[in-house]
Amino acid sequence: MRREHRSSIRSTSPRAKFSGRGHCPSGGRGQTLPTTPDESSSAGRTRSAAQQAAPRSPTLRTYEPERAYIYAPAVDSTSLFATFPAQALKAESLDGTPLWTFAGDGQLNTTPLIINTGNDRFVIVGSWLGHLYALDAASGHEVWSTDVGTPISGADEQNSSEPLAGLAAGQGLIVVPALKTLSAYAADHTRPTLSLPPAVTAQGTSQKGAAVSFLVTASDPDDTATVACVPPSGSIFPIGVTSVACTATDTAGNTDNGSFLVVVSAPNADCDLAHYPVSKGSRNLKGANLSGCYLPNANLSAANATGANLTAAYLVGANLSSVNFSQANLRGASLTNANVAGVRWLQTTCPDGSLSNDNGGSCVGHL
């Protein structure tokens, strides 16, 4: 949430409002009102008799905190939330079962406000120290908090000479009266932004692969965002290509998703194509170990790759036209969008593990 606007309003002082079964505290300004309008009149007596004859709804439960004042509670279809001034916000189910207690900074000062977004339920409460909290209504866990900068005013429910002042919500805003300021917070619908690395390459330290570390960050204009990746940084990655999926989540639940590749070559692989000689314009890769090598868009046109080990190699977008792959092993290699026109497939192990000789002398259709 972020503050949108402030303007001057009349402030109210914080003090306890209700106690027991809803009676005013000792010394309060409340007064007992007649149960029917003008019972001294004939019309009043008639209405009273009709009311007495009507069936009365049963009382489901009386909420009676022992020797404590509370602000007017907030109730929805499942729970009751009550603020005990300078103590805590407590939640109960409608049958009286305690659910959770939230103390915050110890100076909670407002009637709780329930916000139902459709997917989530939140309880908003403010404190005399100026802190505004948003809590998960089911668990009481703090979702976010902010410092308004001045004490947040509680509703003065016993002062009939001044309007009630309290937290309010509507049109995607939470409005917070705080002494002589009025702060409005807009719902955060801005997604965080992931910053992903390019493909991460590493050489295996054993046939099991290698431990690979990487850095993924996220930014958010409104608040902080946390990042989680699967597999996480520092994991053992196998030889070949692994896609790492990451999610950034801000405190309002907005997310951003992305992925990148980790490519691990075999321990004794040589992935530097410059180390292989070129003869008559064609690179000699005969018997080369390129297992797990990251070679996107590589130009290997007309190369002699007889007997080469290209298992789990990354050759996406590579120019492989007229390459001699006789007796080469391409099991698990990635050849998406590679140019394989004129390739010689003779006793070649195809990327899907089948043999070219069993596929009519070709790996096309088995990449």
What domains appear along the chain, each with residue ranges and CATH number? 2-186 (2.40.128.630), 193-265 (2.60.40.10)
Question: What pLDDT is recorded for position 275?
Answer: 97
Distance of CA 188 to the CA centre of its chain: 12
The DSSP element (H or E) to which 265 belongs, if any, is strand 255-265
Helix, strand and coil in the chain, % to nearest 5 = 5, 35, 60
According to DSSP, residue 32 is labeled P
Low-confidence ranges of the chain (pLDDT < 70): 1-69, 155-165, 171-172, 187
**C-alpha dist (Å) from residue 26 to 19, 69, 160:** 9, 11, 17
The two structure tokens encoding residue 168: 């309010």
Question: What pLDDT is recorded for position 189?
Answer: 73
Question: What pLDDT is recorded for position 150?
Answer: 87
Question: What pLDDT is recorded for position 37?
Answer: 38
Beta strand 225-230 with 193-195 is: unpaired
Question: What pLDDT is recorded for position 1?
Answer: 42
According to DSSP, residue 42 is labeled H
Question: What pLDDT is recorded for position 183?
Answer: 77
CB-based burial of residue 191 (10 Å sphere; 0-12 exposed, 13-18 middle, 19+ buried)?
middle
Question: What pLDDT is recorded for position 10?
Answer: 31
Question: What pLDDT is recorded for position 157?
Answer: 57
- Say what the pTM is: 0.59
Question: What pLDDT is recorded for position 280?
Answer: 87
Beta strand 2-7 with 18-19 is: unpaired
Question: What pLDDT is recorded for position 55?
Answer: 57
Residues in contact with 56: Cβ distance below 8 Å, sequence separation at least 6, in sequence order: none
Question: What pLDDT is recorded for position 69?
Answer: 66
Question: What pLDDT is recorded for position 318?
Answer: 98
Question: What pLDDT is recorded for position 121?
Answer: 87
**C-alpha dist (Å) from residue 210 to 213, 253, 332:** 10, 34, 18
